[in-house]
Structure 1
Amino acid sequence: MKFVITFWDKYAAKYLEQIARLNVIVLILIYLTITFIGYKICGETSLISDVHHFIYYMVVTASTTGYGDAAPTTPQGEIFTAVWVIPFALGLFGLSIGKGAFFLSQILYRRYRGKHMLTLKNHIVILGYSKTRTAHLVRMLQREEKGRREIVLVSVELEENPFDDSIHFISADSFTEEADLARANIREASCIVVDLDLDDATLTVALFASTLNKKADLVANFVDEVKCRILTQHIPNAECISGLGTELLAKSVIDSGSSFVHSELVSAHKGQTQYSIKVPNDASSFALADVFMSFKVNHEATVIAIRKAREVNVTINAKLDALVNPGDQLFYIADERVNFNDWPSK
């Protein structure tokens, strides 16, 4: 027994591993060629006289079906079949089934492992996965979007989708590899969220993502305010989430209860929440007062800010006579997102 193990480890295993690396089709062709020549030498003309019959015989033999309608008739043919044909046929048959099953499983599980190509449009792409933040972020987005936009998570750490099938998943080798981000169809995304553990990586990936899609809303999470300023210098319309914890702490000291108000405004689970809506391009310019009461009376919503089209800054608590133009963005507080259609027409 020891001799067999030593022989296997020292000689057989090495050569069998090299054979296994070869293409299965090449191995089958080599095997069929040797078998054909062997049967010809043994005088088994009935087995090799017709190509279709020869292939049929080999498949039946390899699959161990053995109908009995074809068999070697000479002693040397029987020995050749027992020593070469059957053992190697069984091995190749098992190898072919194994390779085929592996190939099929790779195709079937490509989506689950994030190796597939997405064709989504107007979707949200999240670059980076954090155990403490991403799950909560995804739940909030799902509740807010309600199927309006699909969500795609791109991760370099994970090999499988941490969420259910409602969240698309792409496994990437690098966030700065264009081919990986192309599988998330990042060029057609309407929003890109960059949330990595290191600010330097967040800055690099955010800048790279913006070169692939300049039209998408870019949101990046930083700890260091300096990195946030660097990003906005290069991409003025990028939204940086940074340092809000300290500011909110100070505000709560000055005005008690501020943290509770802030929590309610950003919560997607209960209470009044902040939303936004874009003024349609076919609407006419109007004063804020023209829609302010309509929001409140018809939808129990309160307009709190205006953001002019193609501008970064937001005007909080704008005057009622403030001019609102098509393409501007109104921010409001409401229980649910408002489907507002009472715009002044041209």
Structure 2
Amino acid sequence: MTHSAAPPVVIAIDSFKGSIRAADAAHAIAEGWRSVEPGREIILCPMADGGEGTLEAFAAAIPGAQQMSSWLLLPATHDAPNGTGVVELASTSGIELLGTPPKLRPWDADTRGFGEAIAAALTHGVSRLILGIGSSASTDGGAGMLTALGAHFTDAAGRPIAPGARGLATVAHVHLQNLAPLPPGGVTVLTDVTSPLLGERGAAAVFGPQKGATPGDIPLLDTALARYADLLEVDPDSPGAGAAGGTGFGLLAWGAHLVPGAPAVAQLIDLPARLAAASLVITGEGSFDASSAAGKTVAYVQDLATTHGVPVALVAGHVAADVPRSGLLDWVSLTDLAGSSARALAEPARWLRNAGSLLARRLNG
């Protein structure tokens, strides 16, 4: 039996890292639900925190969003009359672009591609920018990005520095007179990383190994970043300066504003208002474990739903046995559905569709 007049179901799910992106996961769950209850309105609000899938999250949730060559144009609004440009580091300078498995280049990878996409959005004339800076491949402090936006970095002899962290080891002068101005509505940077640029909690020490840096590389990378930081009028201890291999620092130098990713995405895709009118929200991620309650997207969606008095169902690739499920109306583990994690990972869309239909049957029974 269908209930076309029932309040909508909102699907606000994160990506299943290494398996399926948030937008595709949301579509699959919706297909499964509609196979049981075709008349129910389902609102897709795939979530992201600034990393891979951020562009897709906006594209799926905001009507009229237009994919440009390397960035996304959101429609004009009262506070952004020429539209908003969304640029994702993951799809322009991200580690996923280095192949599978990635051919890591800890000293030479840079953020120039990210900067070129930002420059393209500025040339288009957008009123404001939203930048997601997760999944970076480099530790260049955002120097490649700033170069693409008009900055010029040289060594002691006045020669342009090499790309990547290698160039930071020789940088002696910075020229910002030709740096592109911020758009009228400013630049908002989405990141859940609060690390400083330097030191044991900094970009090199914490994230360098993910980008291929050896234990011997770490102090050298940190020294190179410190040399670079001395040339820019930004506090390297600023929260988020170490995000994306120091790209957060470079964006602060440009004048951008860093904010926590998941709450900002939720506001920009109007998730609070959508939840206020919903009868159920389905959220989830690849692995629901103890870290899920420590500020991840799923915890944020749960808290927001609780504020609006909306019940929450969870879909996850794996649900840890020791994690409290209080506050959840229902939950589904894809591993349990598929019979093994390997089978769930091999066909995530299939098992997400099954999860959607299972929830529809249970919650409409």
For normalisation by structure 1, the TM-score amounts to 0.30
| Relative contact order, higher structure (CA 8 A, sep 6+) | 2
Identify, as 1 or 2, the structure richer in helix: 1
For normalisation by structure 2, the TM-score amounts to 0.29
Q: Which has the larger radius of gyration?
A: 1
